[in-house]
Amino acid sequence: GENVEQHPSTLSVQEGDSAVIKCTYSDSASNYFPWYKQELGKRPQLIIDIRSNVGEKKDQRIAVTLNKTAKHFSLHITETQPEDSAVYFCAPVKAAGNKLTFGGGTRVLVKP
Amino acid sequence: DAGVIQSPRHEVTEMGQEVTLRCKPISGHDYLFWYRQTMMRGLELLIYFNNNVPIDDSGMPEDRFSAKMPNASFSTLKIQPSEPRDSAVYFCASSLGTGDPSRGYTFGSGTRLTVV
């Protein structure tokens, strides 16, 4: 099965700084790469995703980059704000609709 | 659309009792997933269905857990008998197996189960 690892497990940044989380996966057949954000006591919510035929995707302050050769993809958050404080999960997928295998999560704390 | 609907939101039960968690997926979605989240084990997939048929139940911890999907709009996860180590947040999610994957998977609000 898919082996997914996230680094770091915790990340503390000053408001306005950037945050980067890396996700490494094992299954070369993975072709869809989402990132989820989970605030305390709430459900995971999709914040950005990328397909295997694209190297980078950006949506305002967040971006995802993909290196299929090395089997890793990263979440980039720029100009961090206190509301970015949450746990972030990567979950590479082999095909649309197939099961998500979540990484262990990265707890991000943005200090004002 | 109201999204994925789970009930109850919170459940407190005594060890040994039967617990049934319920999920209504988004209309038209053909995949349904049950996840469990704990501090120790993170988010783990228990079982998933495609067109009401169980596809992979390898994540179901033991025979005390069972899941059904009698129709496209309803699924249950049952624990009998419940044990304190079953305490967790249980999420249901649904997705569309075809079409644009960027539509994403949608999670329900979860059921927080406490077994005392």
Across A9-37, average pLDDT = 94
- Distance (Å, rounded) from C-alpha B79 to C-alpha B65? 5
- Distance (Å, rounded) from C-alpha B83 to C-alpha B101? 37
Highest mean pLDDT among A25-39, A45-59, B79-93: B79-93
pLDDT digits 0-9 by tens, A35-88: 999 999 999 999 999 988 888 999 999 999 999 999 999 999 999 999 999 999
Chain B CB within 8 Å of residue A4 CB: no
pLDDT for the residue numbered B4: 95
Distances (CA, A) of B71 to A14, A33, B68: 49, 30, 9
What is the SS3 string spanning chain A?
CCCEEEECCEEEEECCCCEEEEEEECCCCCCEEEEEEECCCCCCEEEEEEECCCCEEEECCEEEEEECCCCEEEEEECCCCHHHCEEEEECCECCCCCCCCCCCCEEEEEEC
Interface test with A, best of B33, B35, B105 (most A CBs within 10 A): B105
Q: Which residues of B touch A42 (CB under 8 A)?
A: 109
A44–B107: do the CB atoms touch at under 8 Å?
yes
Q: Which positions 58-87 of B are in contact with A (Cβ < 8 Å)?
A: none
pLDDT for the residue numbered B96: 83
What the block records as the tokens of B85 is 């180590």
- Distance (Å, rounded) from C-alpha A74 to C-alpha A64? 6
Does residue A97 have a pLDDT over 80? no
Report whether B34 contacts B75 (CB < 8 A). yes
pLDDT digits 0-9 by tens, B27-67: 999 889 999 999 888 999 999 999 999 999 999 988 999 99
* CA proximity to B37, closest of B85, B82, B89, B78: B89
- Distance (Å, rounded) from C-alpha A57 to C-alpha A51? 9
Chain B CB within 8 Å of residue A49 CB: yes
- Distance (Å, rounded) from C-alpha B43 to C-alpha A34? 15
Task: Count Cβ atoms below 10 Å from residue B99 Cβ, excluding itself.
Answer: 11
- Distance (Å, rounded) from C-alpha B62 to C-alpha B64? 5
pLDDT for the residue numbered A32: 87
| Interface contacts A/B by beta carbons within 8 Å | 53
Does residue B102 have a pLDDT over 60? no
pLDDT for the residue numbered B88: 98
